[in-house]
Amino acid sequence: MALSIKGLSTSLGGRLALAPTSLDFATGRTTVLLGPSGCGKTTLLKLMVGLVAADSGMVRFQGEPVVATNTAALRQRIGYVIQEGGLFPHLSARDNVALMARYLGREAAWIEWRMAELADLTQLPADLLPRFPAQLSGGQRQRVALMRALMLDPEVLLLDEPLGALDPMTRHRLQIDLKAIFSGLARTVVLVTHDLHEAAWFADAIVLMREARVVQHGPLDDLLERPSDPFVTEFIRTQRADPRLAAA
């Protein structure tokens, strides 16, 4: 199992942000954390990468417990795309992508080779790399953010609503491209969204959350045909059309 959590919980500002939760994230599969705003999706993602401290429980990465002494090293094996990309505005696209590789002392020739490989993978024109984030479109910035997350060839990729701020046409194009990238990389992917149709498009498994708790975990068909709680049915109905049609 690439990534697993056992009894993981935390409170933020005196409020329960994640109730004790146990999940396994299978190697080479895409799991989508789904649910309304404030349900704990982003908190769970941050706990997995060590950006939020847990009150209880444990994260294991490739079977190894994630603790204070190894968190920094393990983060280099996990790619992370935050909401709206999180690019540094004072750095060019090229420098954003190369930042960690240069910090770790990778050779310049390797950085340039990897940069070209990732630009091809994400379909970002190379002539955009010298530009600053403000000079790029929203879709271009997301491609740069994905390149940065993939620069060190991570074993696990975490994405927090990576397409949420994009217009519908750009979002649709990137959904198609991202699914192809995930399939080609064969990496473990955990993606956060509030959109059931987007979850249906990407997910091998869906974790539906509500009020800091997991309500149901499984394939899309289980949520549609075997809901474990009235909230599951209610959540699906609010999304209107059958998500399997969007995913076809």
**How does pLDDT run across 89-144, given as a tens digit for each residue?**
999 999 999 999 999 999 999 999 999 999 999 999 999 999 999 999 999 999 99
The arithmetic mean of pLDDT across residues 16-42, rounded, is: 95
Q: What is the pLDDT of residue 176?
A: 92
Cβ-contact 190, 33 below 8 angstroms: yes
Count of Cβ atoms closer than 10 Å to residue 58 Cβ: 14
Joined tokens for residue 142: 């997301």
The arithmetic mean of pLDDT across residues 1-10, rounded, is: 92
Residue 223 pLDDT exceeds 90? yes
Domain-by-domain residue ranges, the chain?
A: 3-77+156-247, 87-153
The 10 Å CB-count burial string (b at 16+, else e) for 151-173 is bbebbbbbbbbbbeebeeebbee
Q: What is the pLDDT of residue 127?
A: 96
Torsion of Cα atoms, 145 then 155 then 109 then 88, to 10°? 20
Torsion of Cα atoms, 37 then 41 then 43 then 48, to 10°? -170
Residue 248 pLDDT exceeds 50? no
The arithmetic mean of pLDDT across residues 31-43, rounded, is: 95
Query: 3-class secondary structure for 210-231?
Result: ECCEEEEEECHHHHHHCCCCHH
Q: Which of 81, 54, 83 is nearest to 190 (CA)?
A: 81
> What is the C-alpha separation between 165 and 169, in angstroms, rounded?
12
Q: Which CATH superfamily is domain 3-77+156-247 in?
A: P-loop containing nucleotide triphosphate hydrolases (3.40.50.300)
Q: What is the pLDDT of residue 242?
A: 60
39-53, 63-77, 86-100: segment of lowest average pLDDT? 63-77
**Average pLDDT along the chain:** 91
